[in-house]
Chain A
Amino acid sequence: MRSSIASARRVAALAAVVLAGAAPATEPEAKEPVSLGALLARFRALPGLEARFHEVKKLALLKAPLISEGTIHYAPPDRLARQTTRPVASTLVVDAREVRFGDAEGSQSIPLEGNPVVRLFVDAFLKVLAGDRGALERIFAIDLRASARGWVMTLEPRLAPMTEVIERIVLEGKGAVLSRMVIREKEGDETVTIFSSVDVERRYSAEEKARVFGVAAH
């Protein structure tokens, strides 16, 4: 009987230890005041960023969600690379001028000029990381609130044609660490991206920049 009780306690203790790492703390953390200017200033100060991502895309076109995984890299002020490892290897690189994409079929580029729709989509993410408040406020109505885990930034498109496609983008994070992004489309489709292993002190050497932000067919 004593051993049963002891065993039950050990399991409970183990469960408590395991759950403590996953479940929200029973006691909410105190909300720290957050301002848009200060947050964007922290993004502007980033030397670079690298993070793992896990994306779940729920589309009306598809019966089941599309799940992708990989790594994102950001080098200020305007270079972003998304290296997808699952389900199919591909690379997407964005800079101020174009979007380049490479996969098993080859590579292609889309100039951002003359493609305002693509430009808006690219800017949505890039301008946040660049901390470009002017550009962000031109494209979106911004709402920033403190949350129990840091901050929540909601971006609602102001400009067509983005207004016709995107209902809102919600970014969550703590400090300069972005942890989650939700893109909600007008037609109901939704993409949720979780970022992990976020390194906000990432510095890219010239060689790394050439490698990471280059596009080749996979």
Chain B
Amino acid sequence: MSDRLKIAAALLLLLAMGLFCARRLRVSTEITFFVPDAADQELAEISRQLLDSPLTRSMILSVEAPDGETAIAAGKGLAAALRGDPEIAWIRSGPGPGVAEAFYRLFFPHRFQMLSGDPERELPARLSDAGLRQAARRLKGHLAQPLGALVKRIAGDDPLLAFEEQLKRLEAARAGPLEVRDDQFITADGRYAIVFLAARGSPFDARSQGPFLARIRAAFASVNAAFGGALRLEQSGVNRFAVDAERIVRNDIDRISLVSIAGIVGIFLLLFRSLRVLLVSFVPLLFGLLTATTAGLLVYGSLHGLTLAFGSTLLGVCIDYPILYLNHQALEPHPAGPWRTLRRIRGALLLGALTTLGGFAGLAWTTFPGMRQMALFATAGILGALAATWLLPPLVSRTPAAVPLHRALADGLGRLLEAMRRKRALLAVLPAAAAALCAAGLPRLRWADDLSAIQRPNPALLAEDERVRARVSRMDSGRFIIATGPTEATALLRNDLVHGRLAAARSAGLVVDFRSLHDLVFSEELQRRNLAQLAASPRLFERTAAALEAEGFQREAFGGFARALLGAPPPPLALSEVLASPLGDLVSPFRVQMAGQVGILTLVRGVRDPAALERALAGLEGVRSFDQGTFLSAAYGRYRTRALELIGAGMIFVFAMLFAAYRSAKLMLVAGLPAVLAAATALAVLALFGVETNLLHVVSLLLVLGIGEDYAIFLVAGAVDPGELKASAMSVVLCCLSGVLSFGLLGLSEIPALRAIGVTCGLGILLSLVLAPTALVLVGREAPR
């Protein structure tokens, strides 16, 4: 294939990938990116479901007003302004007039099926003669009350007041700090009107949620204007954090890319003084980024913001290949032409790329979806950039000779290295100092495995979110009891048992309170057990009628009760019926659908001793106590350990490759050890500065190792010839400059994860540059084969 044909084919490929990425690029900021999926499959699945569930799609809008009347009007006004928004699945500023009626229609026919949560223990006493007499007295007492007219309406069908008990359970389930005035949710102090809504889209889809949040702000602005600007809006919603994170990531990417590129442009123009060389040097970068993005989109459908931000730092790796080639071509061109120059450094290029890939490939064995995506992105990007480096000879066939500055710098570096080689003992100070730093710093490493160390939400947004949530819910955030089962019926059955255990735990003071779906819906089995107890109670109607008569009731008024007892009972009330009713919004957050499993959540408050609560739930099949924060922290801790093991395994693989390439144990160590020492020293320096390290620091070590090995490999490759050594040294310095520029900027990111990557890599690359010459000390004049 001719050079022109190769270039045309490459351009077509570049164009195709560019178009594909432009059309399909979707950036997400899902927190599930950081949820591992294998350490505990079930809990990981629960965590994943909870992170994108009706709970996370819901928003709370809080409108502060000078007085209650204004708050009510403003809350209603805001709900009216937002109603009809295409992104809103439902919106509610008050319970609505139909809730009580809907509850009656849904539950009254099933009143006897939900008579007791423990029918075998409770009902025999309640249905005994004495119990029925007590029920009759209770009914009479209710009728004597001013609202007795309401009780009277259902007394003939329900003299046991079973429906009233259901109502009490509903009230308990709805109980919270909120009150309702004029069909508007409002806080008890009358200052804040509350509007609940749920978005249709994922809260992590910044493309839909960003404009949606803007529409909420606009709707509020118009309402606020109508009230003379006296209102204040505060919001709670996962989508706000996602949109904010996406904005920060995008800003970081823009800033890093822009400044990195500007820096590289400046260096290239200064040293090569050729626009053509400059443009050509970006070809591998472009190929690398587009290949990585295309591969990521093809495999995952969308790319996480952190992958893109991490990817932008790949600029620092991918630029190494054109830098090495262009320096060699400018400073020490092969007399037979550019292809021969490339051929001369081909081994170093391939080995450098392969060792970097070896490190990243290890990430693919991890169970973190985010890490796997980053690994794929990096691997594809490096391969794309490496392949595109082969386009450079035809593109810069007439490379201008090195300018005096370029040559002077290269000569200076060459002389420095030669001087270092002559004074080996002096040069040994560098690794010795690094080793001393490692000895001092590594034992001081402190690992931070909680989620906030990786993705810390905007503090202002977090404070606002917590203020709003406190006005609405009294339950603990992120702590649940979950009853799972292969079917909804099984999960509900287990949820009944959870309710019983938690009620006992509450009595024992292990938990302050809890909110359970059991208060609204019993499992089908429990409903049948209630009916069985009624059926087993001999002559129930006769005895009830006698008890009522004894309390002064007219027997014939209770025909409805007789018909209900003697007729065929309705089928058990199914959760799906409740979900489809106007009470559905109240119920849906309790249910999560997992792969092949249904989960029923119970929210808890004031768990004083999680271990004691675990013991209280012990022995219940399919029931787990779940604390999202603890779970994720434990998972990160496990993964960090695993990542370190993988890096170790990766290093063995890399050293094996180096040995295979050099066929020399000495050269293998020469090329590999400086990078390992640089990575370890970077970690030690962070520890000495009191930085708490986390998973992302560990993953960043892969980049440091990959880049550091490139430097050593490039120098070792040029060690045989002083001219080539100068070109290699110049390349390594330029690579380091571009790398430090990229990662140093990342180190300034607001996002802890990106900051961790930036600081570790920036420091590691700098140390790699400092330690790379030690390779020359060890290699002597031995030429790699």
The chain A residues found within 8 Å of chain B, CB to CB, are 55, 57, 59-64, 66, 68, 82, 84, 87-88, 90, 92, 96-99, 101, 103, 105, 108-118, 121, 125, 165-166, 183, 185, 189
Which residue from chain A places its CB closest to the CB of B151 in the assembled complex? Answer: A61
A62, A90, A112, A117: the one contacting B145 at CB < 8 Å is A90
The reply to whether B147 and A57 contact each other, CB–CB distance below 8 Å, is no
| Residues 169-191 (chain B) with a chain A CB within 8 angstroms | 171, 179-183
The reply to whether A57 and B148 contact each other, CB–CB distance below 8 Å, is yes
The reply to whether A115 and B100 contact each other, CB–CB distance below 8 Å, is yes
A165 contacts across to B, CB distance below 8 A: 149-150, 153
B94 contacts across to A, CB distance below 8 A: 113
A117 and B97 alpha carbons, distance in the complex (Å): 10
0/1 per residue, B544-560, Cβ < 8 Å to A? 00000000111001000
A154 and B487 alpha carbons, distance in the complex (Å): 58
Subset of 8 A-B contacts with CB under 8 Å: A62-B143, A62-B554, A66-B144, A68-B144, A84-B144, A87-B144, A111-B180, A115-B100
| Residues 719-756 (chain B) with a chain A CB within 8 angstroms | none
5 closest A-B pairs by beta carbon, nearest first, are A113-B180, A114-B95, A114-B99, A61-B557, A66-B144
The reply to whether A60 and B180 contact each other, CB–CB distance below 8 Å, is no
Instruction: Supply 12 further A-B pairs (C-beta < 8 A) apart from A62-B143, A109-B171, A115-B100.
Output: A59-B143, A60-B557, A61-B155, A63-B553, A90-B145, A96-B181, A111-B171, A111-B179, A113-B94, A118-B147, A121-B149, A165-B153
Q: Is residue B138 within 8 Å, beta carbon to beta carbon, of the partner chain?
A: yes
A117 and B150 alpha carbons, distance in the complex (Å): 8
Interface centre among A61, A92, A166 (most CB of B within 10 A): A61
B715 to chain A, nearest CB (A): 77
The reply to whether A110 and B171 contact each other, CB–CB distance below 8 Å, is yes
The reply to whether A116 and B97 contact each other, CB–CB distance below 8 Å, is yes
B771 to chain A, nearest CB (A): 71
Known: A60-B557, A63-B552, A185-B149. A97 touches B155 (CB 8 A): no
A99 contacts across to B, CB distance below 8 A: 147
Q: Is residue B152 within 8 Å, beta carbon to beta carbon, of the partner chain?
A: yes
The reply to whether A113 and B95 contact each other, CB–CB distance below 8 Å, is yes
B149 contacts across to A, CB distance below 8 A: 121, 165-166, 183, 185, 189
Interface centre among A105, A113, A118, A189 (most CB of B within 10 A): A113
Q: Is residue B443 within 8 Å, beta carbon to beta carbon, of the partner chain?
A: no
Known: A109-B171, A189-B152. A114 touches B141 (CB 8 A): no
Q: Is residue B343 within 8 Å, beta carbon to beta carbon, of the partner chain?
A: no
A57 to chain B, nearest CB (A): 7
A64, A103, A111, A125: the one contacting B141 at CB < 8 Å is A103
A82 contacts across to B, CB distance below 8 A: 146
Interface centre among A66, A103, A105 (most CB of B within 10 A): A66
| Residues 81-103 (chain B) with a chain A CB within 8 angstroms | 94-97, 99-100
B179 contacts across to A, CB distance below 8 A: 97-98, 111
Q: Is residue B156 within 8 Å, beta carbon to beta carbon, of the partner chain?
A: yes
B472 to chain A, nearest CB (A): 16
A59 and B171 alpha carbons, distance in the complex (Å): 29
Which residue from chain A places its CB closest to the CB of B174 in the assembled complex? Answer: A111
B145 to chain A, nearest CB (A): 6
A109 and B145 alpha carbons, distance in the complex (Å): 14
0/1 per residue, B398-425, Cβ < 8 Å to A? 0000000000000000000000000000
A88 contacts across to B, CB distance below 8 A: 141, 144
The chain B residues found within 8 Å of chain A, CB to CB, are 94-97, 99-100, 138, 140-141, 143-150, 152-153, 155-156, 167-168, 171, 179-183, 552-554, 557
B554 contacts across to A, CB distance below 8 A: 60-63
A98 contacts across to B, CB distance below 8 A: 179
Which residue from chain B places its CB closest to the CB of A98 in the assembled complex? Answer: B179
B100 contacts across to A, CB distance below 8 A: 114-117
Known: A62-B553, A111-B171. A121 touches B146 (CB 8 A): yes
The reply to whether A66 and B143 contact each other, CB–CB distance below 8 Å, is yes
A89 to chain B, nearest CB (A): 10
B780 to chain A, nearest CB (A): 87
Interface centre among A57, A105, A115, A125 (most CB of B within 10 A): A115
The reply to whether A90 and B141 contact each other, CB–CB distance below 8 Å, is yes
A158 and B767 alpha carbons, distance in the complex (Å): 86
A167 and B8 alpha carbons, distance in the complex (Å): 92
B144, B167, B181, B552: the one contacting A113 at CB < 8 Å is B181
B141, B145, B168, B180: the one contacting A97 at CB < 8 Å is B180
A82 and B181 alpha carbons, distance in the complex (Å): 22
Which residue from chain A places its CB closest to the CB of B558 in the assembled complex? Answer: A61
B555 to chain A, nearest CB (A): 10
A61, A68, A112: the one contacting B152 at CB < 8 Å is A61
A213 to chain B, nearest CB (A): 15
A134 to chain B, nearest CB (A): 14
A101 and B145 alpha carbons, distance in the complex (Å): 9
The reply to whether A114 and B97 contact each other, CB–CB distance below 8 Å, is yes
A189 contacts across to B, CB distance below 8 A: 149, 152
A72 and B145 alpha carbons, distance in the complex (Å): 13
A138 to chain B, nearest CB (A): 13
A110 and B183 alpha carbons, distance in the complex (Å): 14
A88 and B171 alpha carbons, distance in the complex (Å): 25
B104 to chain A, nearest CB (A): 10
A109 and B100 alpha carbons, distance in the complex (Å): 14
Which residue from chain B places its CB closest to the CB of A125 in the assembled complex? Answer: B146
Which residue from chain B places its CB closest to the CB of A61 in the assembled complex? Answer: B557
A96 and B553 alpha carbons, distance in the complex (Å): 34
B180 contacts across to A, CB distance below 8 A: 97, 111-114
B163 to chain A, nearest CB (A): 13
A87 and B144 alpha carbons, distance in the complex (Å): 9
A57, A96, A121: the one contacting B144 at CB < 8 Å is A57
B421 to chain A, nearest CB (A): 86
A117 contacts across to B, CB distance below 8 A: 100, 150
The reply to whether B144 and A105 contact each other, CB–CB distance below 8 Å, is no
B161 to chain A, nearest CB (A): 10
Which residue from chain B places its CB closest to the CB of A166 in the assembled complex? Answer: B149
A87 and B94 alpha carbons, distance in the complex (Å): 38
Which residue from chain B places its CB closest to the CB of A111 in the assembled complex? Answer: B180
B552 contacts across to A, CB distance below 8 A: 62-64
B153 contacts across to A, CB distance below 8 A: 165
The reply to whether A92 and B143 contact each other, CB–CB distance below 8 Å, is no
A90 and B146 alpha carbons, distance in the complex (Å): 11
Known: A113-B180, A113-B181, A116-B100. A61 touches B143 (CB 8 A): yes
B143 contacts across to A, CB distance below 8 A: 57, 59, 61-62, 66
B147 contacts across to A, CB distance below 8 A: 92, 99, 110, 118, 121
A61 and B549 alpha carbons, distance in the complex (Å): 10
A55 and B143 alpha carbons, distance in the complex (Å): 12
B152 contacts across to A, CB distance below 8 A: 59, 61, 189
B552 to chain A, nearest CB (A): 5
A108 contacts across to B, CB distance below 8 A: 168, 171
A162 and B633 alpha carbons, distance in the complex (Å): 57
The reply to whether B183 and A105 contact each other, CB–CB distance below 8 Å, is no
The reply to whether B148 and A62 contact each other, CB–CB distance below 8 Å, is no
A87, A112, A113, A118: the one contacting B150 at CB < 8 Å is A118
The reply to whether A62 and B140 contact each other, CB–CB distance below 8 Å, is yes
A162 to chain B, nearest CB (A): 10
Interface centre among A92, A101, A111 (most CB of B within 10 A): A111
Which residue from chain B places its CB closest to the CB of A72 in the assembled complex? Answer: B146
A125 contacts across to B, CB distance below 8 A: 146
A215 to chain B, nearest CB (A): 13
B292 to chain A, nearest CB (A): 55
The reply to whether A92 and B553 contact each other, CB–CB distance below 8 Å, is no
A206 to chain B, nearest CB (A): 17
B141 contacts across to A, CB distance below 8 A: 88, 90, 103
B160 to chain A, nearest CB (A): 14
A114 and B156 alpha carbons, distance in the complex (Å): 24
A57 and B140 alpha carbons, distance in the complex (Å): 11
A55 and B150 alpha carbons, distance in the complex (Å): 17
Which residue from chain A places its CB closest to the CB of B170 in the assembled complex? Answer: A114
B57 to chain A, nearest CB (A): 24
